[in-house]
Amino acid sequence: MKKINEKMRTRFSRSFASLVVGLLIGLQSGYCYAAASNHERVEAGAKQYLINQLTDNAQDTNIDVDVVKIDDRINIPDCPTGFQYNASQEALSQSYISVRVSCKNNEWYLFTSGQVTRTKEIVVTQGAISPGTVLTSSNLTKAKVDVRRLRYTAFTDLESLIGARMKRRITDGQAIQSNMLCFVCKGDRITITAEVAGMEVKTAGIAQQDGVVGDNIKVINASSQKAIIARVASPEEVVIHL
């Protein structure tokens, strides 16, 4: 009888120990799951925050954000009111942006960061182009380009560049920028259109400067030899308002 009781106690002890171990493992797994969820929540929140902030200030620009993974060993407590994110305006203009994550319920905070890639669909060359080449739909195309590569104004409308001339040699796939071309080039013979009270008067002129559409350039009136400032309207015409 004594041996039977000892066996029963042994079985009970083993069952109880197994139950305790199971509960401990369950609690630990639950903690790890919660911790992992908070890590993921903060990472996703930081990414969305950056996308929202950057999209508001970037017209026609595609924003891609890659947030640095937070070390799993860092403890991130629950935040019932929701995590708050903040980055300075200066930081938002950079490629690597530091974001402060905090919670109103406690004094907890951490800094994470995201790598931002800004791309824009613009007009690029289709094949190498030599100086003096007139741009057409056959030597132009559109592609997404990292805006960090653009030092001057780029163009998004391919049709608006038809008729312009290249001022330098450029390679295949290079972004067309305002400093590379001219619609009216220095020395070109052009038409000067003067608009007066709804009427138009046209005369011949000679461009004294390079210019793209919308630029104001110096032009010599071929008849009077007087210099005027006129706005480039097309590869053949400049306009003045009197």
pLDDT value at residue 40: 93
32-47 tens-digit pLDDT: 444 458 999 999 999 9
Residues 33 and 125 in one domain: no
Asked if 9 and 109 sit in the same domain, the reply is: yes
Q: Same domain for 7 and 114?
A: yes
**Poorest-confidence range of 11-25, 133-147, 184-198, 220-234?**
11-25
Number of domains present in the structure of the chain: 3
Domain limits for position 232: 189-241
First to last CA, the chain: 122
Mean pLDDT of 207-232: 94
Looking at the fold, whether 109 and 16 belong to one and the same domain comes out as yes
- pLDDT of 29: 41
Shared-domain flag, residues 112 and 153 = no
Q: What is the CATH number of the domain that holds 232?
A: 2.30.30.760
* CATH code of the domain covering residue 124: 3.90.1210.10
Specify whether 125 is located in the same domain as 58: no
**pTM to 2 decimal places:** 0.60
The residue among 68, 96, 118 that closes a domain is: 118
Instruction: Say whether both 206 and 149 belong to one domain.
Output: no
- pLDDT tens for residues 67-113? 999 999 999 999 999 999 999 999 998 999 999 999 998 889 999 99
